[in-house]
Amino acid sequence: MSYLELLTFARGSALNWALVICVAGIVLRLFEIFGLGRKADLAKPRSNSPGSGWRTMFTRSLPAAGMLKRDPVAYISGYVFHLGLVVVVLFFAQHIEFFNSTFRLVWPSFPTALVDASAVAAIIALCVLLVHRLNNPVKRLLSGFGDYLAWVITLLPLLTGYLAFHHMLVEYTLMLSLHIFSVELLLVLLPFTKLFHSFSVFISRWYNGDIFGRKGTAS
């Protein structure tokens, strides 16, 4: 099998299967979460705070007061990584073509140099976060296989994408195939690992915001 055939497989049936598993998995997990339900809260709300849940979904994206002092490494690296990832995934011209082709959605891209710098920043931030996780006794104790797996499958697409764009290490065709395969691995595992937080984070934020609103401690 030549590298071009490998790329054709990566862009073709492999990608189709990865997308099918990812989408089906996400919908399944959402059904599972919502299907569990909650017991009706019969208590009278302590304060009337409409929209507290929805507000919290956004306010918790902003840094909490005192967070920078308490854990500057997690604070800075966490933001750098997430912002870098968003820029790379959603604002690289070649990636927009992917969304255009699949979802018929187009938006302006960022300059390539900015996307490139974001990729480097996100990779460095991921590495810093791993070292921080290993150095901090509490975090190390709390970390399991799932955490390290999530780290690896997030790093691989970033790293292979960077290497492919810069034509480094191996032939571009092979590296591009590896990049697409790494994205497919991420897609397949996303619904079933801690990476599902990319969807569940907003659900749990809404729930927390709403329940705290009812308890009179709305954010």
Partner 1 sequence: MKAVEQARSLPGTVGEGLQQRGVTRREFLKFCTVVTGMLALPPSMASAMAEAISKARRQSVIWLSFQECTGCTESITRSHSPTLENLIFDLISLDYHHTLQAASGEAAEQARTSAMKDNAGKYLLIVDGAIPMGNPGFSTIAGVSNYDMLVEAAKGAAAIVAVGTCATYGGLPKADPNPTGAVSVNDIIKDKPIINVPGCPPIPVVMTGVLVHFLTFGSIPELDSLGRPKSFYGETIHDRCYRRPFYDQGKFAQTFDDEAARQGWCLYKLGCKGPVTYNSCATTKWNDGTSFPIQSGHGCIGCSEPNFWDAGPLYKALSMPLSATLSLLGAAALAGAAAGVAITWHNRSTKAAAKSAHENVTVQELTKEAK
DSSP 196: G
- By beta-carbon proximity to partner 1, the closer residue of 26 and 186 is 26
Q: Which long-range contacts (CB under 8 A, 24 or more apart) does 170-177 make?
A: 171/3, 173/3, 173/4, 173/6, 173/7, 174/3, 174/6, 176/7, 176/10, 177/3, 177/6, 177/7, 177/9, 177/10
Q: For partner 1, give the closer residue by CB, 116 or 147.
A: 116
Least distance between partner 1 and beta carbon 116 (Å): 9
Can you tell me which residue has the tokens 């959402």?
30
Please, what is the minimum distance in Å from the beta carbon of residue 206 to partner 1? 19
Q: Is the Cβ of residue 7 or residue 186 nearer to partner 1 in the bound state?
A: 7
Q: To the nearest whole angstrom, how small is the minimum distance from the Cβ of residue 151 to partner 1?
A: 25
Residue number, 200 or 219, with CB nearest to partner 1: 200
**Helix ranges, 45-171 (H):** 52-59, 67-70, 72-91, 93-103, 112-135, 137-142, 145-165
- Kindly tell me which of 106 and 142 has the beta carbon lying closer to partner 1: 106
Beta carbon of residue 39, minimum distance to partner 1 (angstroms, whole number): 11
Q: How far is CA 64 from CA 42, 55, 60, 75, 173, in A?
A: 31, 15, 7, 10, 44
Q: How far apart are CA 31 and CA 40, in angstroms?
A: 19
Residue 48 or 102 having the CB closest to partner 1 = 102
Minimum gap (Å) between residue 38 Cβ and partner 1: 12
Contact residues for partner 1, defined by CB under 8 A: 2-5, 7-8, 11-13, 15-16, 19-32, 35-37, 93-95, 97-98, 100-104, 109-113, 115, 167, 172-173, 176
Residues 122 and 116: their CA atoms lie apart, in Å, by: 10
Instruction: Give min distance, CB of 43 to partner 1, in A.
Output: 21
